[in-house]
Amino acid sequence: MKLTISPRHIKALLPLAGKDDARYYLNGIYIEANESQSRIVACNGVCLGVIRSEFGIDEAESVTIIIPRHVAEVLSKLKTEFILEIGEKKNLGMERDCTAISEKGPNVGFTSLDGEYPQWRKVVSFEQDVEAAPAQFAHKYLAAFAKTAKALGESTGSILIWQRGEDSAGVYVQCERDFFGVLMPLRDQYSRSGTPDWAVETL
């Protein structure tokens, strides 16, 4: 089976994928596709991003694969859309022999990662009526989303963050309606709120 993929989508999601994570499947780019469309996902345990693509596979069925990170890094540098040829499952696992074919770049052969990817739809399912609450985020993950935004065409790297109570936040890129991200906040172990007394105390 064959699936068309934009290298721009791979480049945009790589900053949100794991690096040398013991959960090896998080180090890759997850792809889920049917005959009419596909979803491309990256997650590192704190950040998650998903892109909707209008490209589907050329057969009336669905498929999921995980592209290894080192392969995704190569594919992200291609200049044009490429065709991903996806083979049958190997043995009883999730591994498949794949080949990325590009008109303006080298063909790349690889074996998709074995393993069960996290249930990302549960992560991105937000309730609409959650009360607002203060939250702080690690700057390195905000920077990762900024790289994603730039790769998707947001020249300043600006992102919109929708905080939902004390849980994870939704992340949007204004210029790309087919992207949605999730970011976990830092946990305040001291349950601080308001100005501390010592900051206003007269000495």
For the segment 74-115, what is each residue's pLDDT rounded down to a tens digit? 999 999 999 999 998 887 777 899 999 998 878 999 999 988
pTM of the full predicted structure? 0.82
Contact 78, 102 (CB under 8 A): yes
HSE of 115, CA atoms in CB hemisphere, 13 A:
18
Nearest to 44 by CA among 112, 119, 141, 172: 141
- Amino acid in the structure at residue 22: A
Q: CA-based diameter of the chain, in Å?
A: 75
> How far, in whole angstroms, is CA 46 from its chain's centroid?
11
CATH 3.30.420.10 holds for 2-121: no
Burial of 170 (0-12, 13-18, 19+ CB in 10 A): middle
Which residues 6+ apart lie within 8 Å of 187 measured at CB?
A: none
Low-confidence spans in the chain with pLDDT less than 50:
none
What whole-number distance in Å separates Cα of residue 65 and Cα of residue 193? 44
Q: CA 111, CA 103: separation in Å to the nearest integer?
A: 21
Q: What does the pLDDT read at residue 133?
A: 63
Q: Facing residues of 14 across strands?
A: none
Task: Select from 124, 149, 119, 142 the least CA-distant residue to 30.
Answer: 119
Report the number of secondary-structure helices (H) and strands (E) in the chain.
5, 11
Side-by-side strand order, sheet with 2-5: 2-5, 82-89, 96-101, 108-111
For the chain, the domains span: 2-121, 125-183
